[in-house]
Structure 1
């Protein structure tokens, strides 16, 4: 508590605290949503297994509209990445050095998860567990990694996409939305391969809006540019190491001959625009889902032919527009509320371990299910029954306790990554180190992607496919060596 108080006291006056609140709320909603819709049943062998309850609760589909918060992650991520990239360049650094610094907060907690799961899988195999069952358990625990694949790709593309943003402004997300529409046509009428690009174009479109929001906030801040938000690279309320970052002139609104270009890059944030986004987004969402061909549910429903989130559809982007409108409408009262010490300390606490919470929340479910099953106290009520609904509250409470224990153990990995202050003196990165940085990211993304697309019942003695594990660890190792300074004088 003392450290939280210190971090809260050191928060720069111009910080956009709302960004940190949005991230904390989004992660909480994802965790609660995954836990809340989980159904535990037993397979033919009597072993516990799980699936989503949405397929049995069609009346709940509209509730997924506020529950689908991945667009918020990418919007906040765009803001955070624009802020930190601008500051890095102001200090004389470059995009390659920024990418290397950014990898610490993302890769270290992920490595901890994979290494622990691999060790547990190997131990289970030595004790005679079935390889297919091991894979099923690890597959469930690593479901959060598919999101990390998309986000890591967007991070790698941030420097060139930010350059496009500075040149063409809001025209860039409009083009990306058009590409998503083309992919949707492919899904509906063929060829379906056109839809593959939506995995990238959809999330990039929302991420670009984060750039535009950052430009708008930095241009209108009365006390200078907002300090770096606590994203996947720095905790809320601290500037890596607990001290406030210096003012960054490079993030102040440009002036002079570039004023028209700046206006083109900013996200309009007035109340009329926010209302238009909210109402227009909701109207488009209704037309695309209730009237049009897209599912009403914004989350995956077992058995549905179409999915709004995998890959992102126009319906999901309409939801993102509505969410953005609501976010802009609530921004001022939320900022006033966050000036209070207690709410702000709570937001800081979540953001210090936000990725750890996300990565380990399904592992907590695996552990709790295994424990209750081992002692013969695992209930398996029918979905929608009174017993199932009654089980939701104790289920969520027990999961929270298990996750709190996991965060207490593994959260310091993320917190230490945030306290480290990389790239403090700026400087240019050699071409060789830049190439190795990108290669490290590529190996990490490739390993996570292979794991995500490998079927859950494939026999895997280590839980994670060996090629995926090797690729990931190789990439993570390269990035760690580069962050330590390896090759910087060669």
Structure 2
């Protein structure tokens, strides 16, 4: 059977594209591995030192070309969201249900994680751990939360931009790309780094919009030669920006704040994914990839939220081990450090997987009933975003964690009707409505 036929037979048996799900699971694993490599722990005469092991290192640039998967993750997020919304609307669902389900799916596991981290930080302070070390731990924990805030924003706005895509696909994505490039131009011209953070919206929304082109079949409809040329051209343009000094060749440096170079990364990844889509559909149906995909897909946000606490706990245990035994920890980027990386990475993956297994039920919980109020949905998304931004700007402490949890709980409550127990579904088949909401929640 031809690859195209095999892919068709696989995707028709399920509402999900197994190949795309498999790649998304690989992206989650890639993020965990990249962050794991960046953790550096040493013990000096003044005490433990926690630092970014990649700072000033030679290896972060080539590694970032392999493991910088965030652009692809947002493209796939756009693909999955657009597909899910379209399918649910065909069954009688609404954009409001989509947004409410997305808020619930993203915010609920965050409430648990941030709450636990806040309690742990409190316990550490109460047991005499130096406040500066606790502050560093809180800061490191909060850094990856930018993804939650931005992805929440993108998913909340997805129905709006999906409608714009259906009306004017090329104009919409062109405006987003132009805005991202303009922000970079202003940032470079003024030297004001803070300007670049405006691209937390434009860059990631543009990549999500690219996912819409993937979802509606426009990219797959291009000839293989055309897709190959576009992908190669994107890589060549990216290399050109590095050689001319427009952007750093370190793709990690281009994420904080995000730059338009990530758009080129996303285009290259999308073309490659499209070219390999048929083979991925076949290969992802095999037993081992299927088990991996089935484990990660329903636990993706839990894995993302918990891998950093796991890393921080491992760093703390390593420091305590060195202090109590007198055995020196290897200097980051040294030969000894590299020899310990396989065990370090395997431990992170195993521990994170164990936690994700235990807490899988939290992320899997479906919203009992989504609100039909635009005002409540807007307030829910705004409050959820403010909670995450607060942790990023102020830092994660026992107090800020408590405030963030309170705000996130308020966001969850707003995503449901004011009187959830007695509220009725819109005037349509309630069975269809419930089915469409579950479909949007699980995408």
Counterpart residue number, 2:107:
107
CA distance in 1, matches of 2:288, 2:405: 42
SS in structure 1 at match of 2:332: coil
- TM-aligned CA deviation for residue 290 of structure 1: 1.9
Alignment of 1:85-96 (within 5 A): 85-96=85-96
Write 1 or 2 for the structure with the bigger share of helix. 2
- The one-character-per-residue Cα deviations of 1:134-189 (angstroms, maximum 9, x if unpaired) are 33212222322111111001011111111110100133212211111111111111
Q: CA RMSD in A?
A: 2.7
Tell me the residue number matched to 1:262: none
1:437 equivalent in alignment to 2:377: yes
Look up the match of 2:407.
471
Alignment of 1:395-406 (within 5 A): 395-406=344-355
After superposition, where does 1:330-479 map in structure 2 within 5 Å? 330-375=276-321, 376=324, 379-417=328-366, 430=372, 433-455=373-395, 460=397, 462=398, 464=400, 467-479=403-415
Over 3 Å counting, the alpha-carbon distance change for 1:344 and 1:398 in structure 2 is closer
Distance in 2 between residues matched to 1:171 and 1:51, nearest whole Å? 41
User: Contact between 1:32 and 1:396, CA under 8 Å: does it hold in 2?
Assistant: yes
SS at structure 1 position matched to 2:359: helix
Aligned length: 412
Aligned to 1:279: 232
Change (3 A) 1:466 1:268: same
2:173 is matched with which residue?
A: 173
Cα distance in structure 2, aligned partners of 1:331 and 1:317: 20
Per the alignment, in what secondary structure is the counterpart of residue 464 of structure 1?
Answer: helix
1:388 and 1:215 mapped to 2: Cα distance? Answer: 46
Conserved in 2, the CA contact under 8 Å of 1:139 and 1:463?
no
Aligned to 2:182: 182
Q: Which residue of 1 aligns with 2:33?
A: 32
Distance 2:339 2:138 in 1: 28
Tell me how far apart the structure 2 counterparts of residues 73 and 381 of structure 1 sit (CA, whole Å): 33
C-alpha separation in 1, matches of 2:181 and 2:45: 43
Counterparts in 2 of 1:205 and 1:51: CA distance versus 1, 3 Å: same
- The 5 A counterparts of 1:33-432 are 33-42=34-43, 45-53=46-54, 55-58=55-58, 60-190=60-190, 192=192, 195-216=196-217, 268-300=221-253, 308-375=254-321, 376=324, 379-417=328-366, 430=372
How much does 1:331 deviate? 1.1
Distance 2:368 2:90 in 1: 16
- Contact 1:100 1:483 (C-alpha < 8 Å) held by counterparts: no
Can you list the C-alpha shifts for 1:54-111, whole angstroms capped at 9, x where unaligned?
Answer: x332354133122210011111110111112112322333222221122222111111
Measure how far apart 1:299 and its partner are: 0.4
C-alpha separation between the residues in 2 aligned to 1:370 and 1:191?
A: 37
Q: Please give the secondary structure, in 2, of the residue aligned with 1:381.
A: coil
Q: Report if the CA contact (8 A) 1:142-1:359 is conserved.
A: no
Q: Distance in 1 between matches of 2:333 and 2:88?
A: 52
Secondary structure of 1:443 counterpart: helix
Per-residue deviation, 1:20:
0.2
CA–CA separation in structure 2 for the residues paired with 1:473 and 1:43: 41
- Give, in whole Å, the separation in 2 of the partners of 1:334 and 1:318: 22
Structure 2 Cα separation of the partners of residues 209 and 44 of structure 1:
51
2:420 maps to 485
CA distance in 2, matches of 1:285, 1:465: 39
